[in-house]
Chains A and B, each alone.
Chain A
Amino acid sequence: MSIQDTIRETVTSNPVVLFMKGSPTFPQCGFSARAVQIIKACGIAKFAAIDVLQDPEIRQGIKEFSSWPTIPQLYIKGEFIGGSDIMTELYQNGELQKMLEGVAAE
């Protein structure tokens, strides 16, 4: 399976996926830490977190998958939502909470 197929499978088989640097417990980057905080603030306790620092192929592959040059990257039900700036904006205007409503229970 190619790395793009692996990524596609990851984002479609998990309702909420965050590609980040480090883990939710020990984020290795301030932007990734903020992304985790926002997801938790939306009431999502369980989500798939992929540490790109563990795999150079995924680290490069995810940038190509979404045509987005930076990490973190949030996916909800297979759809690319954005990085930490966009997550912050969507959280502040209440849209992210709506997008995540009921998703984790699926």
Chain B
Amino acid sequence: MSDTIRLMQDKLATLAPQHIDIRDDSAKHAGHAGARAGGGHYQLYIVSDAFAGLTTLARHRLVYDTLGEMMQVRIHALSISAKTAQES
């Protein structure tokens, strides 16, 4: 498992996820203009009751805030699916 994915899992553990799946899509984007600066493309599927009562926008914000500075450097793009246990 890559370093970045492990770090993401560590950070997101604070949301007490019941399920978390992170996929590295970087290979699909290698070479395109936006990827040149470095940083990978990832797909995140996360189930946590921390999302209960939040809009999708607020859920994504919570994920971004939790990942903090990782979004500035290591992660170039992140596709997020954030559900509660009831919705999953």
Q: What residues make up the interface of A, taking CB atoms closer than 8 Å to B?
A: 21-22, 28-31, 53, 67-70, 80-83, 85-86, 89-90
Contact = CB atoms under 8 A, between A and B. Distances in A.
Contacts of A82: 56-57, 60
B57 A86 contact: yes
A31 B77 contact: yes
A81 B77 CA distance: 18
Contacts of B81: 85
A28 B32 contact: yes
9 contacts: A29-B32, A29-B34, A53-B34, A69-B72, A70-B71, A85-B56, A85-B81, A86-B60, A90-B56
A31 B43 CA distance: 13
Interface in B32-88: 32-34, 56-57, 60-61, 64, 71-72, 77-81
